[in-house]
Structure 1
Amino acid sequence: MTEAKLIVFVKQPEIGKVKTRLAKDIGEEKALQIYKKLLKKTAELIEESHWPTFVYYKDQIGKNDHFSIPWVIKKTQSEGDLGKKMHDAFVEVKEETEADKIIIIGSDCYDLSLEHLEIAAQKLDNNDVVIGPSNDGGYYLLGLKSIYKKLFSGIKWSTPEVLDKTIEKCNSLGLKIDFIEQLIDIDTLDDLNSINHSSL
């Protein structure tokens, strides 16, 4: 299997700036602590995978944080909406590495495992696009072999239409899509209560 490259989107763990929907129900301090645990879990996944990884920070790059892993390259996200940020990251990694497969994830999905990444990469052998759908109508993982700008534009991000619109765009481009297991992105109190992990 061709070695895939991994892109991870994260935010700096600053109070009042992360998990804002969750914070409305449990308070900003508790929401921040949960986000820090999610970041730690994501870093553990990177260490376990040993995949070439590019961590893109929303604002300033973190120093001496969970992602200070020898093979991780740290970058900052571009300006624009989430779609443009993801597109630009895909293009940058593709240009720098000439990767045959690139997979992007966030840091909101506690149950995301190395097995999910490996299955997604394997599915890219016979598909143009692989998607890991999330419970909120979006996706927690997107895998591509080639970059299609249309997949990242004309979508209202962070809404329940993201997955359906993405599939619609894939179909309009004639792309072959496959999916991996649906998981929960932790954005609300209901999401948090659905995750059976005492560590959160």
Structure 2
Amino acid sequence: MVIAKEPRPGRVKTRLTPPYTPRQAAALAEAALRDTLAAVAAAPAARRVLALLGEPGPWLPAGYDVVPQRGNGLAERLAHAFDDALAACPAPAVLIGMDTPQVTPGLLSEAGRLLGEHDVVVGPAADGGFWLLGQRGPDPALRSGLLAGVPMSRSDTGALLLRRIREAGLRAALLPELTDVDTAADARAVAARAPSSRFAAALAALGADVPA
């Protein structure tokens, strides 16, 4: 599963503005989303779902089921994304956002493999959050219990989620840490890590147009 916003100027990646304009930030968001969707498409999966806030565009490849995001706040939207996906396909599920365009099919495959031996898989993010959450079972109580009340977009979000997992007595595995693209510095770091990505190309194309 990918949870994402339609890459519209002024609606996505607002922390990139400045130095980028809203249109430039949206172009970077679209490139990141394309990279993410391509990585998911290349990873083994029984079903691929895009939980979308907004409308699909030409950036959406074939092979995805699109469901609207539901809920108030990110924690609720994440829980509902699991609910909606697993209602149609009750199997181990992995959810990522559109903020880590350096993700690879190999990392996603590893998340799926780890769910064969663990209840939960978490991909920690450099800002203290998480870039991936995988759950082995379709139990709605498990999903709600993990995410309900966990504050999002904070430096301790990942730590609080891991504490919730430990307190529930669940077997957890960690993936490598990745960097979310939230700031211009993040964008440069991610592009350097994934130089052949669409995101890196989009950032390079904007370089000359960004004011010093």
2:99 paired residue among 88, 94, 108: 108
Alignment check: 8 A CA contact 1:25 1:189 kept: yes
Match of 2:29 in 1: 35
TM-score (norm 1): 0.89
Alignment check: 8 A CA contact 2:122 2:175 kept: yes
Alignment of 1:82-97 (within 5 A): 82-97=74-89
1:187 paired residue among 182, 188, 203: 182
Cα distance, 1:24 vs structure 2: 2.7
Alignment of 1:138-149 (within 5 A): 138-146=129-137, 147=139, 148=142, 149=144
Distance 2:64 2:135 in 1: 20
1:56-79 residue CA offsets vs partner (Å, 9 max, x unmatched): 1113x315x22241x310110002
Match of 2:206 in 1: none
Match of 2:108 in 1: 117
Alignment check: 8 A CA contact 2:41 2:48 kept: no
Match of 2:19 in 1: 25
Q: 1:157 to 1:23 in 2, by over 3 A?
A: same
Alignment check: 8 A CA contact 1:106 1:141 kept: yes
- In terms of fraction of residues, the more helix-rich structure is 2
Q: 1:83 to 1:115 in 2, by over 3 A?
A: same
Q: Provide structure 1 residue ranges, at least 5 long, that are not aligned to the other structure.
A: 1-6
Cα distance, 1:36 vs structure 2: 1.2
Alignment check: 8 A CA contact 2:43 2:106 kept: no
Distance 1:145 1:97 in 2: 12
Q: 1:115 to 1:68 in 2, by over 3 A?
A: closer
Match of 2:73 in 1: 81
TM-score (norm 2): 0.85
Alignment check: 8 A CA contact 2:71 2:80 kept: no
Q: Is 2:158 the counterpart of 1:167?
A: no
Which has the higher mean CA deviation after the structures are superposed, 46-55 or 14-23?
A: 46-55
Q: 1:103 to 1:25 in 2, by over 3 A?
A: same
Counterpart of 2:60, as a letter, is F
2:64 paired residue among 64, 72, 94: 72
Cα distance, 1:50 vs structure 2: 5.3
Q: Provide structure 2 residue ranges, at least 5 long, that are not aligned to the other structure.
A: 204-212
Q: Percent of pairs identical after alignment?
A: 24
Distance 1:155 1:98 in 2: 24
Alignment check: 8 A CA contact 1:55 1:67 kept: no
Counterpart of 1:45, as a letter, is A
Cα distance, 1:179 vs structure 2: 0.4
Root-mean-square deviation (CA), in Å? 1.4
Match of 2:123 in 1: 132
Counterpart of 1:122, as a letter, is R
SS at match of 1:24: coil
